[in-house]
Structure 1
Amino acid sequence: MSAVPTHETARAAAPEPFSPALRRAIAVIMIGASLSFLDSTIVNVALDTVAADLAVPLTDVQWTVTAYLLAFGAVIPVTSWAAQRLGAARLYTVALLVFTLGSACCALSQNIGQLVASRAVQGLGGGAIVPVGTIIWTRMADRAQMARVMSMVGIPIVLAPMIGPTIGGLLVDGAGWQSIFWINIPLGLIGALLAQRLLPRGGGSDAGPLDVPGLLLAAGGLVGLTYGLADIGTRAGATPRSIGVLVGAAVFLTVFVVRSLRVPHPLLDMRLYANRLFSAAALTMFSLGVALFGGMILLPLYFQIVRGEDVVSTGLLLIPSGVGALAANRLAAPLTDKLGGGTTALLGGVVAAVCTIPFVFLTADTPYPLLATAMAARGAGIGLSLTPVMTSAYRTLPPEKIRDATPQLNVLQRVGGSIGTAVLTIVLSHRLAGRTRPSGRAEAFGTTFAWVIAAAVMAIVPTVLLFVTERAQRASSTSSKEHS
Structure 2
Amino acid sequence: MATTTAPAANSPAAPTPTDTPSRGIAAIALVVVLGSIMSVLDVTVVNVALNHLAQDFDAPLATIQWVATGYTLALATVIPTAAWAMGRFGTKRLYMFSIATFAAGSILAGLAWSAESLIVFRVLQGLGGGLIMPVGMTILARASDPSRMGRTMAILGIPVLIGPLAGPILGGWLVDDVSWRWIFFINVPIGAIALGLAAKVFPRDTAQPTRPLDVPGLLMLSPGLALLIYGLATGGEKGDFGAAGALVPAVLGALLVIGFVARALRVEHALIDLRLFRNRAFVAAAGTMFLFVCAYFGSMMLAPLYYQLVRGESATASGMLGAPQALATALAMQVASRLSDRIAPGRIVLIGIAVGASGFLAFTTQVAADTPYWVLMACMSVTGVGVGMTLMPTTASALRTMSHEQVAVAGTTLTIIQQVSAAIGGALMSVLLAGSMRDGLPAGQGAGGLGELHTLSPDVVVAVGPALADAFQGTYWWAVTLMGLALLPALLMSRRQPTGAVGE
Give the TM-score normalised by structure 1.
0.92
Structure 1, gaps ≥5 residues long: 5-15, 478-484
- Preserved CA contact (<8 Å) 1:134 1:406: yes
Aligned-residue offset at 1:305: 0.7
Cα distance between partner residues in 1 of 2:163 and 2:97: 23
Which residue of 377, 380, 393 maps to 2:382? Answer: 377
Matched, 1:152 2:179: no
Which residue of 272, 288, 294 maps to 1:290? Answer: 294
Compare the two structures and name the one with the higher helix fraction.
1
- Preserved CA contact (<8 Å) 2:341 2:498: no
Which residue of 266, 273, 285 maps to 2:270? Answer: 266
Aligned-residue offset at 1:41: 2.2
SS of the residue corresponding to residue 94 of structure 2 reads helix
> Which runs of at least 4 in structure 1 moved beyond 4 Å after TM superposition?
470-474
Which residue of 320, 340, 344 maps to 2:344? Answer: 340
Matched, 1:278 2:282: yes
Cα distance between partner residues in 2 of 1:473 and 1:92: 30
Taking only the aligned residue pairs, the percentage that are identical comes to: 38
Partner of 1:232: 235
Map 1:55-454 to 2 at 5 A: 55-238=58-241, 239-360=243-364, 361-433=366-438, 434=441, 435=446, 436=461, 437-454=464-481
Q: Which letter maps to 1:81?
A: W
SS of the residue corresponding to residue 465 of structure 1 reads coil
Q: Which letter maps to 1:286?
A: F
| Cα gap change, 1:443 to 1:89, in 2 (>3 Å) | same
SS of the residue corresponding to residue 491 of structure 2 reads helix
User: Deviations along 1:26-67, whole A, 9 cap, x unmatched?
Assistant: 000101111111222221111110011001101000011110
SS of the residue corresponding to residue 30 of structure 1 reads helix
Aligned-residue offset at 1:222: 0.8
| Cα gap change, 1:339 to 1:158, in 2 (>3 Å) | same
Structure 2, gaps ≥5 residues long: 7-18, 447-460
Equivalent residues, number? 462
SS of the residue corresponding to residue 43 of structure 2 reads coil
- Preserved CA contact (<8 Å) 2:27 2:201: yes
Cα distance between partner residues in 2 of 1:352 and 1:459: 11
- Preserved CA contact (<8 Å) 1:90 1:201: no
Q: Which letter maps to 1:26?
A: A
Cα distance between partner residues in 2 of 1:372 and 1:178: 33
- Preserved CA contact (<8 Å) 2:336 2:388: yes
Cα distance between partner residues in 2 of 1:390 and 1:129: 17
SS of the residue corresponding to residue 399 of structure 1 reads coil
Cα distance between partner residues in 2 of 1:211 and 1:156: 32
- Preserved CA contact (<8 Å) 1:71 1:120: yes
User: Deviations along 1:102-127, whole A, 9 cap, x unmatched?
Assistant: 11111100101100000000000100
Cα distance between partner residues in 1 of 2:101 and 2:70: 15
